[in-house]
């Protein structure tokens, strides 16, 4: 290899992002506290630049570079566009919140962009090593972000739990990868797929490694029985960071799952299908049933995340193009819903007050009917009530499962989404039918008001007209996973 | 059983024992020393695989630098480790049982003839002029350049995160800012008031009184 043959074009967005982070680190040193807002603007400009680079680097067919360790394909392209958008929304939603809580420091922005870089690397990895390094880059940045508020005991505890369990999950993942390496002699995903398909791999070792890979992946997704960290971290972390953990990383985790199981271990479908089915059923059941008794809305949304990951797996485990693309659609819609729900919670929080209880939303309609309506859209969408986007997402994964001949699983998923509707509706009841217990003014920056409104209305628009996004997901999956 | 196999099992046994003692030792200094022992035996295992460079760097970096720093911190801090681990022995029986069952299952799978571990050929010994360092360097800077660069980004992130988490103004800190002290001028500290040496008359004292 020499520099002349090194094609940097597919990795253009990542290179730009990394350079921008380095520049931001230096600029941060030159700024005093009053002018820290410059970093906010520069971070948003960086994200816009990344999206522009992504547009330039767009490719309709998979292109590999860096000695086949990096791949740019439609799947990674589409997901990266959403990653930039979601990260921008997170920064806009959390600006006032972090400023009120002494977290408005340069590190807040650089760590967030580092996390984004880690997700980008994960999404574009075609080698187990880069998959793992991307994951660590993301996780390390998130651990630090959770603990950024040093004086908060729950946040430190949440960071500690996330760190210890995350390290354990990484250990499981690495052990599984080493077993797969032993069986196939390669860490390159395409080579692994080829060796397994040719039947030359050691099947016992492969399945042995697969068990650990699935366990590690479920840890990262937060699916039962590897979900213990999710409620504690969601509740303990500052709401701004909870929003960050609960949004973009789920998209990256979906691609992570697709790269390892869908691309690398595609020939072992019959093996991982059963494992994921158990995980999906348990996640939907435990997530929805436990969420009913929660009074803390962050904890409730954490259990709801667990159940959503179960639904995502229902689509994914069919292993065909329809199921995978429905899971991708579900991941995107889930992220939009959780952005909207946490966005409203952030809008209602102010200096010295955290909006964390379901009771804090009481009578929101009297205080501000627009935010109550946006929360209503998010809750109805999560519950899967037509015509919102969450309905179509659930419909797509359940249809994919039924078409793949898994009717009992599909029926179970429908039942669980009915149970789930209860606790989402409880939030709506608190907002519309209870009397307000306080009348503090809701002050929200204009940029957040605009983006949050667009976010809520997107849930409605994508529910009425889902075809474009569904078709986009289908094309991305079909073009990227060539074996399907 | 060849000599290297015997050495491998001895080193593995020491490694497992040391790792177990790291989490069960009551004294944090002992735990840190057991961690040193486990790193050391792990580097012995690498030596058996003829990866001398990795073995030496493990000792140099982890034992020489990281663990010495760690021991230093452990000795400096006054942590009541027993209080931190109150729940440890309560949960130990359950956790231990699960761990033993899992390890037993893994041993059964990997030890069974179907696992086919015996079909893997023994590793051919490397020639005397084989250089670990050169091979590693060539791979790292050509084939795995992307991964190496990413690892450097992870290190940079670790620096940023560590500074973000530790650097802050403590309210209870009594440390003095030396540069501020050096730059201090007399006018900042002492206020010289000119006043008459004569006894003060009553009218002047009235003026000094706070106005009602």
Q: How far apart are CA A239 and CA A97, in angstroms?
A: 8
Our count of domains for chain A comes to 1
H or E segment to which residue A70 belongs? strand A70-72
Q: In this structure, is residue A43 part of a structural domain?
A: yes
Residue A355: which of A344, A366, A363 has the closest Cα?
Answer: A344
What's the whole-model pTM score?
Answer: 0.91
A70–B157 CB contact, under 8 Å: no
Q: How far apart are CA A232 and CA A357, in angstroms?
A: 15
Q: How far apart are CA A344 and CA A366, in angstroms?
A: 15
Instruction: Give the CA count within 13 Å in the CB-facing half-sphere of B119.
Output: 13
Q: Which residues of B touch A199 (CB under 8 A)?
A: none
Model confidence pLDDT, tens digit, residues A129-148 = 999 999 999 999 999 999 98
Selected for mutation to probe chain B from A102, A141, A212 (highest B CB count within 10 Å) is A141
pLDDT tier, A4 (very low <50, low <70, confident <90, very high otherwise) = low
Of B143, B154, B161, the CB nearest to A133: B154
Domain of residue A438, residue span? 8-482
* Residue A343 scores a pLDDT above 60: yes
* Residue A213 scores a pLDDT above 50: yes
Model confidence pLDDT, tens digit, residues A93-114 = 999 999 888 888 889 999 999 9
* Environment class of B187 (CB within 10 Å of its CB; exposed 0-12, middle 13-18, buried 19+): exposed
CA A309 from chain centre, in angstroms, equals 10
Q: In this structure, is residue A312 part of a structural domain?
A: yes
Q: How far apart are the first and last CA of chain B?
A: 102
B115–A117 CB contact, under 8 Å: no
Q: What is the DSSP letter of A3?
A: G
Selected for mutation to probe chain B from A140, A155, A156, A241 (highest B CB count within 10 Å) is A140
Q: pLDDT value at position A448? A: 93
Q: pLDDT value at position B206? A: 52
- Alpha helix stretches (DSSP H) within A349-388: 364-367, 369-383
Q: Which residues of B touch A208 (CB under 8 A)?
A: 106, 109-110, 115
Q: Which residues pair with A127 in a beta bridge?
A: A188
Residues 6+ apart with CB under 8 A from A127: A68, A69, A187, A188, A189, B147
Q: In this structure, is residue A261 part of a structural domain?
A: yes
Range with the lowest mean pLDDT among A35-39, A333-337, A414-418, B207-211? B207-211
B164–A66 CB contact, under 8 Å: no
* Coil/strand/helix, residue A86: helix
**Mean pLDDT across A61-79:** 92
* Coil/strand/helix, residue A324: helix
Q: Which residues pair with A72 in a beta bridge?
A: A63
Q: CATH top-level class for B1-79?
A: mainly alpha
Q: CA-nearest residue of chain B to A105?
A: B164
Model confidence pLDDT, tens digit, residues B101-111 = 999 999 999 88
Residues 6+ apart with CB under 8 A from A229: A161, A162, A165, A166, A222
Of A1, A70, A117, the CB nearest to B153: A117
Q: Look at the alpha carbons of A66, A67, A69, A71 in this order and tell me if their dihedral is positive or negative.
A: positive
Q: pLDDT value at position A149? A: 85
* B163 touching chain A per CB within 8 A: yes
Alpha carbon separation from B14 to A104, B5, B97 (Å, rounded)? 49, 14, 22
* Residue B127 scores a pLDDT above 70: yes
**Mean pLDDT across A414-427:** 94
Mean pLDDT value across chain A: 92
Q: pLDDT value at position B212? A: 47
Q: Where are the domains of chain B?
A: 1-79, 131-166
Cis peptide before A83 (omega within 30 of 0): no
Q: pLDDT value at position A32? A: 82
**Mean pLDDT across A357-371:** 90
Q: CA-nearest residue of chain B to A203?
A: B115
Of A1, A25, A67, the CB nearest to B160: A25
CB pairs under 8 A between A and B: 77
Q: Which two tokens stand for residue B11?
A: 């080193």
Q: Angle between the A407-433 and A269-292 helix axes, to the nearest 10 degrees?
A: 30
Model confidence pLDDT, tens digit, residues B149-201 = 999 999 999 999 999 888 776 666 777 788 888 888 888 888 888 888 876 66
Q: pLDDT value at position B200? A: 60
């Amino acid at each position: 290899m020499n520099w002349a043959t090194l094609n940097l074009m597919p990795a253009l967005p990542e290179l730009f992002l990394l350079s921008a982070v380095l520049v931001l680190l230096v600029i941060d040193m030159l700024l005093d506290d009053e002018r820290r807002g410059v970093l906010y603007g520069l971070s948003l400009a960086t994200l816009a630049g990344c999206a522009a680079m992504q547009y330039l680097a767009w490719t309709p067919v998979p292109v590999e570079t860096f000695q086949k360790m990096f791949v740019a394909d439609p799947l990674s392209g589409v997901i990266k566009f959403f990653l930039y958008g979601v990260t921008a929304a997170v920064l806009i939603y959390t600006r006032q919140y972090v400023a009120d809580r002494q977290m408005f420091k340069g590190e807040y922005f650089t760590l967030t962009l580092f996390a984004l870089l880690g997700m980008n690397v994960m999404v574009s990895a075609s080698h187990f090593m880069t998959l793992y390094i991307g994951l660590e880059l993301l996780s390390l940045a998130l651990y630090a972000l959770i603990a950024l508020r040093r004086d908060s005991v729950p946040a430190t505890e949440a960071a500690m739990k996330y760190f210890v369990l995350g390290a354990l999950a990484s250990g499981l993942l690495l052990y599984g990868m080493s077993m797969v390496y032993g069986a196939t002699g390669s860490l390159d995903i395409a080579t692994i797929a080829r060796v397994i398909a040719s039947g030359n791999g050691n099947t016992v070792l492969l399945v042995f490694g697969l068990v650990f890979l699935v366990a590690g992946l479920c840890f990262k997704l937060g699916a039962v029985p590897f979900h213990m960290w999710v409620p504690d971290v969601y509740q303990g972390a500052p709401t701004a960071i909870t929003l960050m953990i609960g949004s973009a990383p789920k998209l990256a985790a979906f691609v992570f799952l697709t790269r390892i199981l869908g691309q690398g271990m595609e020939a072992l479908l019959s093996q991982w299908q059963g494992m994921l089915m158990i995980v999906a059923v348990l996640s939907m059941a435990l997530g929805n049933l436990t969420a009913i008794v929660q009074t803390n809305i962050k904890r409730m949304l954490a259990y709801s995340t667990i159940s959503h990951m179960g639904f995502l797996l229902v689509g994914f485990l069919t292993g065909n193009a329809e199921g995978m693309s429905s899971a991708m659609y579900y991941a995107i819609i889930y992220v939009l819903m959780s952005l909207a729900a946490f966005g409203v919670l952030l809008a209602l929080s102010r200096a010295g007050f955290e909006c964390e209880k379901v009771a804090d939303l009481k009578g929101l309609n009297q205080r501000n009917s627009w935010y109550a309506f946006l929360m209503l859209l998010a809750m109805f969408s999560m519950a899967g009530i037509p015509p919102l986007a969450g309905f179509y997402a659930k419909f797509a994964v359940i249809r994919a499962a039924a078409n793949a001949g898994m009717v009992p699983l599909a029926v179970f998923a429908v039942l669980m989404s009915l149970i789930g509707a209860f606790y989402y509706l409880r939030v709506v009841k608190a907002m519309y039918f209870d009397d307000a217990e306080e009348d503090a003014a809701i002050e929200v920056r204009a940029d957040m008001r605009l983006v949050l409104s667009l976010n809520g209305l997107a849930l409605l628009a994508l529910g009425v007209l889902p075809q474009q996004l569904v078709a986009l997901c289908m094309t991305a999956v079909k073009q990227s996973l060539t074996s399907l | 059983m060849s000599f290297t196999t015997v050495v491998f099992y001895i080193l593995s046994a020491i490694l497992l024992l040391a790792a177990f003692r790291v989490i069960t030792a009551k004294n944090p200094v002992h735990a840190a020393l057991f961690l040193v022992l486990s790193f050391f035996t792990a580097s012995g295992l690498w030596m058996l695989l003829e990866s001398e460079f990795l073995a030496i760097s493990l000792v140099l970096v982890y034992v020489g630098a990281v663990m010495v720093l760690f021991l230093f911190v452990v000795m400096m801090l006054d942590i009541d480790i027993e209080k931190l681990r109150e729940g440890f022995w309560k949960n130990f029986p359950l956790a231990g049982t699960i761990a033993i069952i899992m390890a037993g299952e893994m041993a059964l799978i990997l030890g069974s003839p179907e696992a086919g571990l015996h079909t893997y050929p023994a590793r051919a010994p490397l020639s005397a002029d084989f250089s670990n360092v050169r091979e590693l360097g060539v791979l790292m800077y050509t084939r795995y350049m992307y991964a190496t660069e990413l690892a450097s980004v992870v290190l940079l992130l670790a620096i940023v995160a560590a500074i973000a988490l530790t650097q802050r103004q403590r309210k209870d800190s009594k440390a003095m800012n030396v540069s501020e002290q050096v730059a201090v001028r007399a006018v900042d500290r002492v206020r010289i008031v000119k006043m008459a040496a004569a006894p003060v008359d009553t009218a002047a004292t009235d003026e000094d009184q706070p106005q009602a």
